[in-house]
Structures are given as structure tokens and as C-alpha cells.
Amino acid sequence: MADSLKRSDENQEESNSSKKLKSAPATDKNSGGDGPVQQNILANFQIKSVLRDSTREKTIFIHGELEDKEAIVILEKTPIGQDTLPDMLKESTLELKMKNDIYSTYTLIPPPRINDIKSTVICPATQKHVKKYQAQDVFLVEETEEDYRSITLPYIESQSFSVQWVYNILEKKAEADRIVCEDPDPKTGFVLLPDFKWDMNQLEDLYLIAIVHRRDIKSLRDLRAEHIPLLENIRKKGQEGILKRFDVPACKLRVYLHYQPSYYHLHVHFTSLSHDAPGCSVERAHLLSDVILNLKADPLYYQQRPLTFPLRADDNLAAKFRESGKLPSC
């Protein structure tokens, strides 16, 4: 899990400095992507350390230098697309690794044009970025109503996390062409657009975010019974928008909120049920349907009940809970 307050100030900084590209040779002949082929800026990347290597997600996070600047490179193996399968099987070479009776294991080496690696470059990178992607211990915190008032809320207010990038989306100053659907109502409205983690190549990895127009709701903790029309509107129209645009029905969607959220402006996640999306695990995700039912049963449910969530060891909020004796010392 990234810092519980990620994509606030540091993520706005990241969005301004990161560059996404497809690793490819310098000629159009071998390019498998739709965009223009870029010069291989990674040829001169000097590796300092591997911050994290996720075999499950087929992703590696590397810290180093690029053109004498601190940089982080994220390499992610792209999913195998159904449209590329025939060419992959025909044009690849096989190296036999093991054979035992009916079982054989091979290394399949596909042609370069269908062997993409999604590469994200953050340059210049700060120590915040390094800490964000570095492998660390994770702890579960049980936050009571009093903990929220005395620890979490003062911390949020003291940090002044910027969500200007959110306002840019809501005001159509940025990413307007990516909006899937919108309800402009100031009380119950929202915009729905693809999450930056989804490359929109496969519906199995579908991931969209609904961002509310209201600016007075920071997180799950602020929700009351009066917000039920807003939540029901997001669920209904969000599902309808996804069905219309991507032909994915509501029964194949996971719709949830995070606590702690990535940024403190209320937003709802829509992911494909087949996608094991980051942050969809039980210790952080709260199904929107459950949130609505809980608020109908108790208007102050999320104000008063203890909420459990994970924090990384170096998270500044974790430090506050550690000072209060709610977390063990590292």
C-alpha cells in the first residue's frame, strides 16, 4: 500500500514529472504500440537500488539516476491480450526447461512487437517518491471515533494536502476528454473517468473513479444519512455509464470506497470483479452498497464506529498513531 495520503501533494508533483512510455526499439518497424516511438531514455538510467519487486503483479520499482537527476522507473509486464494470442503463438520461440511424462515447461520468447512492458518514469524524483514505492512493513490500525478526532483529523488539517488536480478535473481544466459520464448536480453529482492505473486495453482490468462535485466531504468518516442520495446516485448512474460505454453489467462490478483514502476528496472506485485491484482487500475497501445500508440503519455509523485500515511503517500518520501508543515502535 502506498502512503495513506498518496496522490495529494506528492502525487500532484508526480503527475507533473512522470512520463509514461512503451519500451520499444527506436524504429517504427518493431513498435507494437499505437503512439509514436520514443527515444530510449532508459538507456542511460543508472540503477541504485530495487525498491520493490512484486512477482504477483509482475512489477518492479527501481531507484536510480537519469540525466544526473534522481529518478524512479516502474516496469510492469502488460497482460496478454486475446487479439495478440494467434501471432504470439505462431511467431514466438520456445526453450524447453523440463519434461516429465505429459508435463512440459517452456520459456516462450515472443517477438518484440508483442512483448511490451509498461514503463513509468518519475524524474526528477523526491525522497517522498522513494519512500512511497519502497517495500516496508505494514500495520493494521483500529481507529476509534476519538482517535479520528485527536489523531487523524488534526494530522490531515495540519498537512494541507493539495487536491487541486481533483478540482482541475471537476472544472474541466484537465482530463476532460477522459470523462465517461457526469452528473453536474452540485449536491448529488459526480464525474466518472478511468483511473490512471487502467490502460483501457482490457475490460478484465477495468478501473474507474467517480469523483463527487461536493467539496465538503473528505472521506468515509464524513458520511451521514443525508449523503445517501449522493451515494445511491453514484452507484446507479455510475453502473449505467459503465454499461453503456464498456458493456459491463453491474453484477460484474466491484464498487467501493477506501479508508484511509488515497486523497481527501470523496471518490468511489469501480473495478471489474475479475480484477484483483490494488486496495480492494477487506482491510481497506468498503463496498458502497454496505455503506448505504449502514447509513440507513444508523445515520452516524461512520462517525462513531471504529474503522480498521493498514499503514506503512514510514507513513507520517503511522508515526502519529505510534506516538499515541496505538502502534508498536519499529
Q: Which residues are annotated as a binding site?
A: 165, 175, 195, 197, 258-269
Neighbours of 312 (CB within 10 A): 20
What single-letter DSSP state applies at residue 39? P
Whole-number Å distance between alpha carbons of 68 and 310 = 35
Strand partners of residue 181: 192
State yes or no: is 267 an active-site residue. yes
Whole-number Å distance between alpha carbons of 246 and 47 = 40
Nine-digit cell at 76?
510492469
Peptide bond into 260 cis (omega under 30): yes
Closest Cα partner for 27 from 112, 118, 115?
112
Return binding residues for substrate. 165, 175, 195, 197, 258-269
Half-sphere exposure of 115 (CA within 13 A, CB side): 13
Peptide bond into 124 cis (omega under 30): yes
Given 63, 227, 267, 286, the catalytic residue = 267
Strand partners of residue 213: none
Nine-digit cell at 230?
449522493
Strand partners of residue 207: 271
Whole-number Å distance between alpha carbons of 2 and 230 = 28
Strand partners of residue 209: 193, 269
User: Which residues are known to be catalytic?
Assistant: 267
